[in-house]
């Protein structure tokens, strides 16, 4: 999906404005939702507009706990979010993978990337591909 330069600049300004809302190095978290889980988005404008999205209240059945980091990344100078996401498989260490995306209208953050594929019955990552973990959508709670 292609985005115009104008939408990229708008996304960057949205992220920068959110990051600059507080003059402290770590700004107040923003409430978001993702697949039925309550999340918190943390910005740090003192470190190149870095961000983390963590589980605040994971939906039932997830192996992630409150405070578990799902996304770590930064906003580029053109407004794109570049980050590391994690897949959580019960009994396994989190499996990281690269995602990129944009803030869209109405406070939606859409990230995507080839997600880990596990060898059947194991924790071994054998490949990366588009699958059910490839697209992550976060919506700001207003």
Residue 38's CATH number: 2.40.128
**How large is the average pLDDT for residues 41-58?**
86
Q: Which domain holds residue 72?
A: 5-140
Q: Provide the number of structural domains found in the chain.
A: 1
pTM (2 d.p.): 0.78
Q: What is the pLDDT of residues 31-49, one digit of tens each?
A: 999 999 999 999 887 666 8
Instruction: Over range 61-77, report the average pLDDT.
Output: 91
Give the pLDDT confidence score for residue 122 in this predicted structure: 97
User: Residue 135: which residues within 8 A CB-CB, separation 6 or more?
Assistant: 110, 111, 112
User: pLDDT band at 78, cuts 50/70/90?
Assistant: confident
Note the pLDDT of residue 19: 40
């Amino acid at each position: 999906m292609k985005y115009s330069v104008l939408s990229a600049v708008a996304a960057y300004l949205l992220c920068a404005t959110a990051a600059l809302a507080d003059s402290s190095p770590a700004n107040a978290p923003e409430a978001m939702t993702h697949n039925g889980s309550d999340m918190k988005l943390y910005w740090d404008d003192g470190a190149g507009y870095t961000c983390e999205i963590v589980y605040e209240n994971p939906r039932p059945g997830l192996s992630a706990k409150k405070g578990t980091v799902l996304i770590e990344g930064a906003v580029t100078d053109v407004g794109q979010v570049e980050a590391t996401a994690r897949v959580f498989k019960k009994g396994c260490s989190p499996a990281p993978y690269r995602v990129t995306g944009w803030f869209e209208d109405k406070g939606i953050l859409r990230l995507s990337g080839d997600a880990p594929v596990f060898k059947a019955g194991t924790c071994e990552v054998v490949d990366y591909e588009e699958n059910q973990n490839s697209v992550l959508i976060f919506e700001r709670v207003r």
